[in-house]
Amino acid sequence: MQTLIKNVSIIPMDGDENVIEKGYIIVEDDTIKEVMSGEPPQGDFGQVIDGTDQVALPGFINTHTHAAMTLLRGYADDLPLKEWLETKIWPMEDKLTGDDIYWGTMLAIVEMIKSGTTTFMDMYFHMDRVAEAVNETGIRAVISRGMIGVGPENERAITESLELIEKWHQTAGGRIQYKWGPHAPYTCPPDYLRRVMELAKQTETGIHIHISETSGEIEDIKKQYGKSPVELLEETGLFSVPVVAAHCVHLSENDIQILKNNNVGVAHNPESNMKLASGIAPVPEMLTAGIAVGLGTDGTSSNNNLDMIQEMRSCALLHKVNTANPTVIPAYQALQMATCNGAEVLGLTKQTGRLTPGLKADIILMNLNQAHMTPCYDLVANLVYASQASDVETVIVDGRILMQNRQLKTINEPEVIAQCRAIASRLTGV
């Protein structure tokens, strides 16, 4: 079936800051067939969407989150990371069941679709239930079973990861992919990381890991191994497979060069890093070095939302004030980080991240007929600095409409909210 989107402004994210003031997009089944300016050709289209007063752009790509942590939103705020994890989050997570993870993930997907995210990368547990939610809702995801390399569960994490790869990797028409998820260098010793790296090679997948998130992590790793986390991971050989490194807040010049030399993709999580006071990642330096840097929200218990528009704006403003330079992270670069850069970080450039013929039809339409979007001297600047999640009108993934006119098509939102409220009541006893 062919779908026509007409009378629409288009930001294709094809690399040259091109903006089509009025044009059309033709989608054939799950793939973008044509993106052009002007009036569309005559044809027998199965579906026609009038994009008047709207802009089409690639769906946002959330390169790092823990989706089911929607269940812990607001549960443990205003605490340092170590105390937050050890005294609040981990004990509560011990109470979560597979059904809880499913419903928490469904809630996250509702929030992500309604704010324009079409792809997310997730690390958590009970990932078979996460995959079920992704499969049912139509969103695109790269999933990772979180792995702790010390203690009794380290072998189970490997077994479950292999089972997940067998069952879910490259399924749902390619919408679901898998990467190994060793949590971090401070929870996964070098020998364990080497095993995971070898398994990633054997299964032709990649790795998703937290790196250099806090200054305390840097101090502990240096005390134990005599080098930075990045240097340690290079020494273990971890970077011999594709790696997505979440956070990368505390990096030396040598660390940045190592990441660049090994084509490591970085997931920058500005709002989570700000809320937990973890620090400010050297994103301008990484971008200058040529590292692929995308944006992530992290989990909602440290953010507290999955709004990539807000994340994009926070990223641009944070680095301007941190460098005392208003030209740092200009609007188009921030939008790149939320779209095409994210695809590069996740290894999905052949599928998504741009509105280009031959790529999958992952498209969002945003309403420009809004007071806060008026006037419009620069469309990209308005999107980055003025738009809101509620401006997202239509979301398409793999050519399938998941939301139209703000109405979800694949999810019963009231049921999801009711289920998650009941889970929260059970967890807290309130």
Beta strands in 342-411 (DSSP E): 363-367, 392-397, 400-404, 407-408
What are the extents of the domains in the chain? 2-58+351-408, 60-346
- With CA atoms as reference, report the closest residue to 21 among 58, 56, 45: 56
CB 22 within 8 A of CB 37: yes
The CATH number of domain 60-346, selected from 3.90.580.10, 3.20.20.140, 3.40.50.2300, 3.50.50.60 = 3.20.20.140
Query: Could you report the per-residue pLDDT of 27-81, keeping only the tens digit for each?
Result: 999 999 999 999 999 988 999 999 999 999 999 999 999 999 999 999 989 988 7
Query: Could you report the per-residue pLDDT of 166-201, keeping only the tens digit for each?
Result: 999 999 999 999 999 999 999 999 999 999 999 999
**Which two tokens mark 84?**
């937050």
**Which two tokens mark 412?**
């019963």
pLDDT at 16: 79
Please determine, for residue 430, whether its predicted confidence score (pLDDT) is greater than 80: no
Count other C-beta atoms under 10 Å from residue 393's C-beta. Answer: 21
Taken as a whole, the chain contains a residue count of 430
Instruction: Locate all alpha helices (DSSP H) within 33-144, ordered by sequence.
Output: 81-83, 90-93, 98-114, 127-137
**Which two tokens mark 268?**
């920058």
pLDDT at 43: 87
pLDDT at 151: 82
Label residue 64 exposed, middle or buried (CB < 10 Å: 0-12, 13-18, 19+).
buried
The DSSP-derived string for 151-181 is STTHHHHHHHHHHHHHHHTTBGGGTEEE-BE
**Which two tokens mark 216?**
């305390």
Mean pLDDT score, 322-334 = 98
CB 134 within 8 A of CB 119: no
The CATH superfamily holding the domain 2-58+351-408 is Urease, subunit C, domain 1 (2.30.40.10)
Mean pLDDT score, 232-254 = 98
Query: Could you report the per-residue pLDDT of 136-171, keeping only the tens digit for each?
Result: 999 999 999 999 998 888 999 999 999 999 999 999
**Which of residues 88 and 247 earns the better pLDDT score?**
247
Label residue 357 exposed, middle or buried (CB < 10 Å: 0-12, 13-18, 19+).
middle
